[in-house]
Structure 1
Amino acid sequence: MRTAYAACLAVLLAPPAAGGAWLEAPGKGFAAASATYRQTDSGALHELGYYGTYGITPKLTLGVDLNQNADISGHAMIFARMPLRAGERYRLAVEAGFGGNHYRGQWALMQRTTLSYGRGFQTGKTSGWLAIDAAYELRNSGLAAAWKFDATLGLNRPGKPAPMLQIETYKPEGGQFSYTLTPSLRYPLPAGRELILGLEHRSAGGGSLGLKLGLWQKF
Structure 2
Amino acid sequence: MYYQIWNFFLKEDKYIYWKEQIKVNKTCNKVVWQKIVDFLSLVEQTFQLKSQLAETDSLEPFLKLAKDNGYNLTAEQLAWFLVTRRQIWDLFDFAQKTPSLKEELLIAKNPQQFVNIAADNGYSFSVEELAWLLIEIKSSAEIVSINNSVGEILTGSNYGRIDIGYWIWLAEDWGIVPPFCHRQKPGNILFEDANNPFLLDRCFLPKSYLNQRLLVSINS
* TM-score scaled by length of structure 2: 0.23
Kindly name which structure, 1 or 2, has the bigger radius of gyration based on alpha carbons: 2
Higher percent of residues as helix:
2
* TM-score scaled by length of structure 1: 0.23
